[in-house]
Amino acid sequence: MTPAEFAAELQRVSAGTDSAISKVVEKGALNIKNDARASLSSSNAGKSAAGQFINYDMSGTLEAEIGYDKMAGSLGTMNEYGSAGNAPKKNLANALEREAPVTAKYAAEAVDDLWR
């Protein structure tokens, strides 16, 4: 491969990187949302109702925001962080911790695939 060909290859790969990783990030966000909802539904009925308010939004290409909609009111923060009389459940934080290494692995594979 000549330097010019290598430069062209680099350009081609870097142009496709955002799009490839964006799909992985969105899939990761979906997995976290589903995992957090599932772990909430194994909690008591009142609290599990808040699960339907867990959603995600893509903020730009490479960033996703996952959390409770405003409709959940204080139930969301109470589930996640607890309150004066309730222990924290950390459904979202635990789901993120489970998913993070999986998403990182698939992001690396997606970039690898661009070189082929």
Partner 1 sequence: MAISARLVAVEVVEYLDGITNVAAYLSEGPTPPVGKTVIVHPDAGQHDGPLGNPDRDLRVEFQTTSVGTTAEQALWVHDQVATRLWRSTITLDGSTNTLPIFAIPGTEQPVRRDDNLADPLFYVTCSWMAHARPST
Distance CA 28, CA 112 (A): 18
Q: Which is nearer to partner 1, 22 or 39 (CB)?
A: 39
Stretch that binds partner 1, among 5-13, 52-60, 63-71, 75-83 (CB under 8 A): 75-83
Distance CA 116, CA 52 (A): 40
**Closest separation in Å from C-beta 44 to partner 1:** 14
Q: Is the dihedral of CA 95, 101, 102, 107 positive or negative?
A: positive
Residue that has been written with the tokens 């330097």 in this structure: 3
Q: Which is nearer to partner 1, 73 or 108 (CB)?
A: 73
Residues lying near partner 1 in the complex (CB under 8 A) are found at 74, 77-78, 81-88, 90, 94, 97
